[in-house]
């Protein structure tokens, strides 16, 4: 769920494929076969019709253009004759039908475009060869590990209890104000959130070379199509009534779409941007999961990293972006591991994704705190983001886009609260954050 908005829908779809095949989800071979069958079905139902449609489309465009060429020639001659006060009735005869025929052909092209687009927009990106193959998250590959989970001499509390005792986290009042899956931060809790945002932005802008962006928190449907959330994952989004506006599920959407429809200069690449935004997700289909605490909220803060680069650079840039995100956890000295997602766990738009997972003492497991992906040219094609070399004769080509959380602030907040608690319920502040908290070394109950 820090995973992009579509992830839950993707998982639901995987579950549906398994259910429809009627196989035991623990039977690996049967599940794999079910996915292969589904893949064949997708090829037959979606890819094959595209070939025929493409052919029809080309023919219709060719016919229409031939007629247009004729029309232009005739119209020009009409203009010439009228200027000379010569009659042109013989030329005008039949041209009305040509115009109608052109309109008809254009309508046909439009219909084919619509049909093709509807199909194409629902086809996910092709996983990179570097993505491990597997049918779900159990096939994910651990690639990095940092730190050692602390051995508490007492039973560690979770952040809900710690936050309530310290008076810094309130779910009940958030429920009153809005509803479930919302929270209120108070006092040092609110300040810790703000400190984390500033800390992350400062590290990325000052140490990692990103340019800071503060985008709109609402975007139109076109932007969401560009990054791949629409049309397939509308149910994951909050839509504003009476507007073609949606609350952003991640800063990825406004920041990646900054350059939609534009041609960037090759010398400006790699372009690295970072943005703090709140993120809004409906979490449809995740009922009953992570209902306690800050893990899964309808609104959470995130600092996002986004890169636009040349195709040949995108995989080295992904490694850099990942290490930039990991650096935040290292500076905060929070134990984590990084996994490469398998093909079965990969989101709709990504070619390769790393998840960074932070250690949570209360759950005694690693939980996702960042997701870093290379989309190759998938988003660039949808959003038409291109670049061009200095040679004026060179044709524009699609950039590669990447993004990753750097990090999910809410989950970082709770990771700090849980990992840095002491037996008295106080929270130790990591040294790098102290300047952002007025030099405080601990969060303790207010007198």
Burial letters for 101-139: b for 16+ Cβ neighbours within 10 Å, e otherwise? ebeebeebbeebeeebeeeeeeebbebbeebbebbbeeb
Distances (CA, A) of 337 to 139, 183, 293, 367, 390: 15, 27, 22, 9, 42
Give the H or E element holding residue 106.
Answer: helix 95-120
Cis peptide before 17 (omega within 30 of 0): no
Give CA angle at 200 (358, 421), nearest 5°: 45
- Closer by beta carbon to RNA, 216 or else 231: 216
Residue closest to 345 by CA, chosen among 144, 127, 145 = 127
Catalytic residue among 225, 296, 367, 382: 296
Concerning whether 41 is annotated as a catalytic residue, the answer is: no
**Could you tell me the smallest distance in angstroms from the CB atom of residue 380 to RNA?**
13
**Could you tell me the smallest distance in angstroms from the CB atom of residue 267 to RNA?**
14
β-bridge partners, 352: 374
- Closer by beta carbon to RNA, 392 or else 438: 392
Close Cβ partners of 157 (under 8 Å, ≥ 6 residues apart) = 165, 362, 418, 421, 425
Catalytic residue among 370, 371, 373, 405: 371
Q: What residues line the site for RNA (CB under 7 A)?
A: 61, 65-66, 68-69, 71-76, 78-80, 82-83, 92, 95-96, 98-99, 103, 110, 263, 386, 388, 392, 395-396
Catalytic residue among 368, 370, 376, 418: 368
Give CA angle at 327 (324, 331), nearest 5°: 150
- Closer by beta carbon to RNA, 103 or else 207: 103
Concerning whether 368 is annotated as a catalytic residue, the answer is: yes
**Could you tell me the smallest distance in angstroms from the CB atom of residue 78 to RNA?**
4
- Closer by beta carbon to RNA, 98 or else 440: 98
Concerning whether 296 is annotated as a catalytic residue, the answer is: yes
Distance from C-alpha of 201 to C-alpha of 324, rounded to nearest angstrom? 11
- Closer by beta carbon to RNA, 81 or else 191: 81
**Could you tell me the smallest distance in angstroms from the CB atom of residue 231 to RNA?**
19
**Could you tell me the smallest distance in angstroms from the CB atom of residue 328 to RNA?**
30
- Closer by beta carbon to RNA, 307 or else 386: 386
**Could you tell me the smallest distance in angstroms from the CB atom of residue 81 to RNA?**
9
Looking only at the bridges linking them, the beta strands covering 427-428 and 442-443 are antiparallel
- Closer by beta carbon to RNA, 74 or else 284: 74
Looking only at the bridges linking them, the beta strands covering 211-213 and 218-220 are unpaired
Distance from C-alpha of 250 to C-alpha of 257, rounded to nearest angstrom? 12
Distance from C-alpha of 299 to C-alpha of 289, rounded to nearest angstrom? 16
Catalytic residue among 4, 57, 181, 281: 281
Give the H or E element holding residue 283.
Answer: none
Give the H or E element holding residue 403.
Answer: strand 400-408
**Could you tell me the smallest distance in angstroms from the CB atom of residue 225 to RNA?**
15
Cβ neighbours around 175 below 10 Å, total: 14
Distance from C-alpha of 372 to C-alpha of 369, rounded to nearest angstrom? 10
Active site residues: 281, 296, 368, 371, 411
């Amino acid at each position: 769920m820090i995973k992009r908005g579509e992830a839950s829908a993707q998982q639901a779809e995987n579950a549906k494929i398994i259910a429809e095949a009627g196989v035991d989800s623990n039977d690996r071979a049967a599940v794999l076969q079910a996915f292969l069958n589904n893949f064949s079905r997708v090829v037959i139902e979606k890819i094959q019709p595209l070939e025929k449609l493409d052919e029809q489309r080309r023919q219709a465009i060719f016919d229409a253009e031939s007629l247009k060429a004729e029309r232009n020639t005739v119209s020009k001659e009409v203009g010439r004759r009228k200027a000379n006060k010569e009659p042109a009735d013989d030329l005008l005869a039949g041209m009305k039908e040509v115009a109608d025929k052109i309109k008809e052909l254009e309508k046909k092209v439009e219909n084919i475009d619509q049909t093709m687009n509807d199909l194409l927009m629902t086809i996910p990106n092709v996983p990179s060869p570097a993505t491990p193959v597997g049918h779900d998250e159990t096939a994910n590959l651990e690639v990095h590990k940092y730190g050692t989970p602390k051995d508490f001499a007492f039973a560690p509390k979770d952040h809900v209890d710690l936050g309530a005792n310290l008076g810094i986290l309130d779910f009940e009042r958030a429920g009153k104000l809005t509803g479930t899956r919302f929270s209120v931060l108070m006092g040092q809790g609110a300040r810790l959130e703000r400190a984390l945002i500033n800390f992350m932005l400062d590290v990325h802008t000052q140490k990692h070379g990103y340019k800071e962006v503060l985008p709109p928190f609402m975007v139109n449907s076109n932007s969401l199509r560009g990054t791949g959330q629409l049309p397939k994952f509308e149910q994951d989004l909050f839509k504003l009534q009476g507007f073609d506006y949606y609350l952003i599920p991640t800063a990825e959407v406004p920041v990646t779409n900054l350059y939609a429809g534009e041609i960037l200069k090759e010398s400006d690449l790699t372009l690295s941007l970072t943005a703090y935004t709140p993120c809004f997700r409906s979490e449809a289909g995740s009922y009953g999961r992570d209902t306690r605490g800050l893990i899964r909220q309808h609104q959470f803060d995130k600092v996002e990293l986004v890169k636009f680069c040349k195709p040949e650079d995108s995989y080295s840039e992904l490694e850099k972006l990942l290490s930039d995100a990991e650096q935040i956890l290292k500076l905060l000295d929070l134990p984590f591991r990084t996994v490469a997602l398998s093909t079965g766990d990969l989101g709709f738009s990504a070619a390769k994704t790393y998840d960074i997972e932070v250690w949570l003492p209360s759950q005694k497991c690693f939980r996702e705190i960042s997701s870093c992906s290379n989309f190759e040219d998938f988003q660039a094609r949808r959003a038409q983001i291109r670049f061009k070399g200095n040679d004026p004769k060179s044709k524009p080509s699609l950039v590669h886009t990447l993004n990753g959380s750097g990090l999910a602030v809410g989950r970082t907040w709770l990771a700090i609260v849980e990992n840095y608690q002491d037996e008295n319920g106080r929270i130790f502040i990591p040294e790098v954050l102290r300047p952002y908290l007025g030099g405080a070394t601990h969060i303790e109950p207010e007198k």
